[in-house]
Amino acid sequence: MAAIDGLPPLREVIQRHGLDAKKSLGQNFLLDLNLTQKIARTAGPLEECTVIEVGPGPGGLTRAILSLGAKHVVAIERDARAMPALKEIAEHYPGRLTVIEGDALKVDFESLTPPGEPVRIIANLPYNVGTQLLVDWLLPKRWPPFYRSLTLMFQREVGLRIVARADDDHYGRLGVLAGWRTNARIAFDVPPQAFVPPPKVTSSVVHLEPIENPLPCKAGALERVTQAAFGQRRKMLRQSLKPLGGEALLALAGIDPQRRAETLSVEEFVALANALD
C-alpha cells in the first residue's frame, strides 16, 4: 500500500534497496511521515523556499519537505546506497529534488543556491556532524547569512546546550554562539522509538532563526573568550581568562573578575570579545 504521498512506505524502500542502518554513518531513520511532516512544518512556510537537506538517507524527511510544497530541495547524502531511493523521490516530484552525493562537511552551502533565494536548512544528522555544521552556519563570513532558518535534530542534551542561557548548567560555547546570532528554541522532543534503529537517548528538534543585527563583535574573539572561560567553567574568570589578559581584560569589559563563566550573559561575552579585540 502506498504512503500518504503516493510513494511506497519507507520500510519497503529500505528493504528493497538494502539500506540497513550503518552505525558508522550515524544512521537512525525516521519512518513515520506524520513525524517527518511535523519536523518540516517547524521550519516555517516552504512554498517559496529552496530547502537544503543534509543527510536525507532513505528520504523520509525529504518526502515530507516536498509534500509540504517546498519549491526545490537540494539534498546532500554521503551514503551511495541511498541514491536509488532518492532517485525515485526525484522522479515522483519532477524538477524539485537535486541530490548531491558527498560529505556535507566539505560542501560550500552558500554556493548551492542562487544569491537572494530564500533558503531553509533542515537536517536529521549524526550528532557530531550536526554540531560541527551548526557552528559553521553560525559563523559564516557574511551576516545576515544566506539562510532564513535552521531546523535540526540533535540529541536532547545538545539541544539544551544550544538554547541554554546564563545560569543554566547546559550553558557553554554553543549557547553563547547561538544566543549571539540567532533566536533558538527547542520545538519538540522525539523519543528513541521513533527511529529505526532507536538511539540510546531522546532527541530534540531545534529551530534557529538568524537575528538580522546581532551585537557587533568578531566571531574569532568570541570563540577565544568562550573557549577559555568555559574550558575552566568552575574557576573565577580572573583565573580562566589569564592567558587572554585576566583582570585587565575583565576591567576593560567592566566585568567582576570573581564571576564564573556560566553567570555571564551573551552580551557580557560580547563585551569581553570586543575588549580582547
Least Å from the CB of residue 138 to ligand SAM:
18
Quick one: which of 77, 158, 194, 229 contacts ligand SAM (CB under 6 A)? 77
Number of H helices, E strands in the chain: 11, 9
Tell me the C-alpha distance between 131 and 134, whole Å: 5
Cβ proximity to ligand SAM, 28 vs 226, nearer residue: 28
Q: Does 270 bind ligand SAM (CB under 6 A)?
A: no
Sign of dihedral through CA atoms 74, 55, 47, 115? negative
For residue 11, give the 3-state DSSP assignment.
helix
Angle, to 10 degrees, between the axis of helix 127-138 and the axis of helix 173-181? 40
Q: Which of residues 130-149 bind ligand SAM (CB under 6 A)?
A: none
- By CB under 6 A, tell whether 55 contacts ligand SAM: yes
> Cell numbers at residue 43, please?
521550519
- One-letter amino acid for residue 182 of the chain: T
* Binds ligand SAM (CB under 6 A): choice among 79, 150, 164, 249: 79
- The stretch among 121-129, 158-166, 204-212, 223-231 that binds ligand SAM (CB under 6 A) is 121-129
- Binding part of the chain for ligand SAM, among 28-36, 88-96, 164-172, 266-274 by CB under 6 A, reads 28-36
Q: Is 159 among the residues that bind ligand SAM (CB under 6 A)?
A: no
Residue 103 binds to ligand SAM (criterion: CB under 6 A): yes
Give the nearest distance from C-beta 196 to ligand SAM in angstroms.
8
Count of positions on this chain that bind ligand SAM (CB under 6 A): 24
Q: What angle do CA 47, 72, 94 make, to 5 degrees?
A: 110
Smallest distance, ligand SAM to C-beta of residue 263, A: 35
Strands in the chain per DSSP E: 29-30, 50-54, 72-77, 97-101, 119-124, 149-155, 182-190, 195-196, 203-210
Binding site for ligand SAM (CB under 6 A): 25-30, 54-57, 60-61, 76-79, 82, 103-105, 124-126, 129
